[in-house]
C-alpha cells in the first residue's frame, strides 16, 4: 500500500507513456495515447479517460498487452486498468457523462467498481465543420435539395436502385441495405439518387445527422488531419454521423491510409445502426486496389446497379426538364434527342438545355434542323467511348490478324500479345468490367484480363518494340 502513496495517477501514467512510446510507432502513439488522460489512482487501479467507446475498443484490441506490461512495471502484478469513456451526445448540447469499462487484461474488475462519473468541462469536439463560437456541433449536410426523389424519374434502368434508396430513406440504418451501394457509368444518376436519400431523410427525420461527402474531399480531409495531427478529431467527427453518404468511392483505390480510416469509421457506424450509402463507377468485384476487408464490407448490404436508361426513360427525362422550365417543344424534336443521346443522362440534359437556350436567345423556332446541329455539336464535343469491338478491330488490323484469330484459343505468341493488348486497351478506354471485357474478347475470365493488363504494363517497361506497338495503337484509338 505504502508504495502507492507518493504516486499520482499522472506520474504513473507518465511513466507508462515513456515505456509505450518506446515500443510503438510515433503516429500510433500520437493518435491513440496522447489523447488519454490519467484521472485517478486508487490502490493498484489506474483510471484513464478516453474520448469514445470506439477508442476504448481500439486500445483493447491493439494495445492491451502493451498497456498491461507498462502498468505492471509501475504498479506490480495486481495492477488494474480502468477506462472512463467520455460520451458525447450527438449535438454536444447536453452534459457529457462517462461510462466506465474494465480492461480485458485481467478478469478481476467488475463493472460495479464504477464510481461517480466525472464531469468534463469541454464536451465539444473539434471537427472541420464546427462553426467557431457556436456551442452545438452543427453538421452541415452538404446536400443539394435539387436532387430529390420527385425529380428522379423511375425506369427499368434504375428501378432496383431507386426502390432500395426509398426503403433506406424510410428507415435509415434499419434495413438490410447497409451499406447501400450504387454503381454504374458516368452521368447515370448515382450522385442524384444518393442526395435524394439524404434529402428525404432530412425531411422525415430532421434530428438525424446526415452528411454527404465525395470520397475525394474525404481523402483530402483525412490527409490534412494527419498533417495537422488531428486524426482523432477526424475520426470522432465521422462517428457522430447517422447517415453517411460517400460519393465515388472508387477514388479511394490505392489510398491505403484513407481506406484504413474509412474501414474503422464504417465498422463503428455499422455496429451502431447508422446508415452508410456509397456510390462507385464500378461494381465491387471490379474495384481495384481497394483492400479486401473493405470490399467485403461493401458487399454486406446491397449493391444496386444503375444502368443506361432505355428510350422511354430518356424521353421522360427530357419532358420533365421541359416541363420544369415551362418550355414547349415539338414531340419529334424530343424524340430525336432521345434517340441520339443514349449513354449519359448528363449529356441528354446538356443537349436539351442548349437547345432551349439557342431557341430563346436567337428567337428561333426549334426545328429538327436546329436539333440536329445541336445534338451533333454536343455529341462531337463529348469524348465518345470506344467500344470493345472497335478496339479488337483496330488491334487486329494493326497486327494484320483477323478478329477470329485474335479471339481464338491459340497460344501463338504474337496472337497472345495482340489479344492482351486488346484487353489492355479495353480496360483503358471503356468503362466495361474485367468480366465483360474477358467475355467479349474470346470468352476469357476476368483474371485473364487482369493478367493481360499487368503483362502489358511490364512489357511496356522492358521492351522497346512492344512499347512502340502500344503507342501506335493508342494513337489510332484516340483519333
Cα separation, 462 vs 357, whole angstroms? 53
Nearer to ligand ADP, 40 or 154 (CB): 154
Asked if 415 is part of the footprint of ligand ADP (rule: CB under 6 A), the reply reads: no
Judged by CB under 6 A, the residue of 57, 291, 349, 385 near ligand ADP is 349
Contact residues for Mg ion, defined by CB under 5 A: 190-191
Alpha-carbon torsion, ordered 187, 188, 192, 194, to 10 deg: -120
The answer to whether 214 and 250 are in contact (CB under 8 A) is no
Judged by CB under 6 A, the residue of 41, 249, 317, 434 near ligand ADP is 317
The answer to whether 216 and 247 are in contact (CB under 8 A) is no
Q: Where are the beta strands (DSSP E) in 51-92?
A: 80-87
Return the one option of Mg ion, ligand ADP, none that residue 99 interacts with (CB less than 5 to 8 A, by type): none
Site mask for ligand ADP (CB under 6 A), range 125-154, x = bound: ----------------------x---xxx-
Report the nearest approach of Mg ion to the CB of residue 280 (Å). Answer: 10
The answer to whether 157 and 309 are in contact (CB under 8 A) is yes
Nearer to ligand ADP, 309 or 442 (CB): 309
Judged by CB under 6 A, the residue of 30, 205, 346, 474 near ligand ADP is 346
Question: Could you identify the residue written with the cell 465483360?
Answer: 436
Report the nearest approach of ligand ADP to the CB of residue 472 (Å). Answer: 32
Report the nearest approach of ligand ADP to the CB of residue 152 (Å). Answer: 5
Cα separation, 395 vs 460, whole angstroms? 16
- Rounded to the nearest 10 degrees, the angle between the axes of helix 159-170 and helix 190-204 is 20
The answer to whether 441 and 419 are in contact (CB under 8 A) is yes
Beta bridge partners of 29: none
Asked if 28 is part of the footprint of ligand ADP (rule: CB under 6 A), the reply reads: no
Cα separation, 102 vs 46, whole angstroms? 11
Asked if 318 is part of the footprint of ligand ADP (rule: CB under 6 A), the reply reads: no
Report the nearest approach of ligand ADP to the CB of residue 309 (Å). Answer: 7
Nearer to ligand ADP, 123 or 187 (CB): 187
Cα separation, 370 vs 374, whole angstroms? 6
Judged by CB under 6 A, the residue of 181, 188, 434, 437 near ligand ADP is 188
Nearer to ligand ADP, 188 or 243 (CB): 188
Return the one option of Mg ion, ligand ADP, none that residue 314 interacts with (CB less than 5 to 8 A, by type): none
What 8-state DSSP symbol labels residue 455? Answer: H
Interface contacts to ligand ADP, rule CB under 6 A? 147, 151-153, 158, 186-192, 317, 345-346, 349
Amino acid at each position: 500500500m505504502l508504495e502507492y502513496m507518493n504516486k499520482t495517477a499522472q506520474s504513473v501514467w507518465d511513466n507508462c507513456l515513456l515505456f509505450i512510446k518506446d515500443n510503438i510507432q510515433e503516429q500510433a502513439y500520437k493518435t491513440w495515447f496522447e489523447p488519454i488522460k490519467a484521472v485517478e489512482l486508487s490502490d493498484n487501479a489506474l483510471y484513464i479517460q478516453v474520448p469514445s467507446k470506439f477508442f476504448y475498443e481500439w486500445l483493447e484490441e491493439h494495445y492491451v498487452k502493451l498497456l498491461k506490461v507498462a502498468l505492471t512495471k509501475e504498479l506490480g502484478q495486481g495492477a488494474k486498468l480502468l477506462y472512463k469513456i467520455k460520451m458525447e451526445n450527438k449535438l454536444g448540447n447536453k452534459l457529457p457523462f462517462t461510462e466506465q469499462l474494465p480492461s480485458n487484461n485481467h478478469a478481476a474488475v467488475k463493472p460495479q467498481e464504477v464510481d461517480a462519473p466525472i464531469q468534463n468541462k469541454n464536451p465539444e469536439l473539434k471537427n472541420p465543420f464546427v462553426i467557431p463560437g457556436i456551442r452545438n456541433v452543427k453538421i452541415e449536410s452538404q446536400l443539394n435539395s435539387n436532387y430529390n426523389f420527385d425529380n428522379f424519374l423511375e425506369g427499368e434502368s434504375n428501378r432496383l436502385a431507386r426502390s432500395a434508396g426509398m426503403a433506406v430513406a424510410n428507415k435509415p440504418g434499419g434495413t438490410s441495405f447497409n451499406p447501400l451501394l450504387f454503381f454504374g457509368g458516368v452521368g447515370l444518376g448515382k450522385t442524384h439518387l444518393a442526395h435524394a436519400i439524404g434529402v428525404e431523410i432530412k425531411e422525415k427525420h430532421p434530428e438525424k445527422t446526415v452528411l454527404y461527402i465525395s470520397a475525394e474531399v474525404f481523402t483530402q480531409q483525412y490527409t490534412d488531419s494527419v498533417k495537422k495531427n488531428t486524426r482523432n478529431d477526424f475520426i470522432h467527427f465521422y462517428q457522430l454521423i447517422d447517415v453517411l453518404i460517400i460519393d465515388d468511392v472508387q477514388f479511394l483505390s490505392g489510398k491505403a491510409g484513407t481506406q484504413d480510416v474509412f474501414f474503422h469509421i464504417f465498422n463503428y457506424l455499422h455496429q451502431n445502426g447508422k446508415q452508410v450509402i456509397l456510390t462507385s463507377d464500378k461494381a465491387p468485384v471490379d474495384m481495384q486496389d481497394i483492400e479486401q476487408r473493405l470490399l467485403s464490407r461493401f458487399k454486406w448490404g446491397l449493391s444496386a446497379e444503375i444502368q443506361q436508361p432505355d428510350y422511354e426513360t430518356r424521353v421522360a427525362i427530357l419532358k420533365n426538364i421541359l416541363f420544369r422550365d415551362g418550355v414547349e417543344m415539338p414531340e419529334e424534336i424530343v424524340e430525336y434527342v432521345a434517340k441520339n443521346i443514349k449513354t449519359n443522362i448528363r449529356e441528354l440534359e446538356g443537349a436539351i438545355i442548349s437547345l432551349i437556350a439557342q431557341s430563346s436567345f436567337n428567337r428561333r423556332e426549334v426545328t429538327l434542323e436546329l436539333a440536329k446541329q445541336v445534338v451533333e455539336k454536343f455529341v462531337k464535343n463529348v469524348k465518345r467511348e470506344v467500344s470493345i469491338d472497335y478496339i479488337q478491330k483496330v488491334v487486329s488490323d494493326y497486327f494484320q490478324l483477323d478478329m477470329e484469330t485474335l479471339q481464338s484459343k491459340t497460344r501463338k505468341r504474337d496472337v497472345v500479345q495482340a489479344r492482351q493488348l486488346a484487353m489492355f486497351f479495353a480496360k483503358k478506354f471503356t468503362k466495361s468490367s474485367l468480366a465483360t471485357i474477358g467475355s467479349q474478347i474470346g470468352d476469357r475470365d476476368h483474371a485473364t484480363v487482369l493478367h493481360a493488363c499487368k503483362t502489358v504494363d511490364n512489357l511496356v517497361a522492358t521492351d522497346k518494340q512492344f512499347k512502340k506497338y502500344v503507342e501506335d495503337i493508342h494513337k489510332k484509338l484516340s483519333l
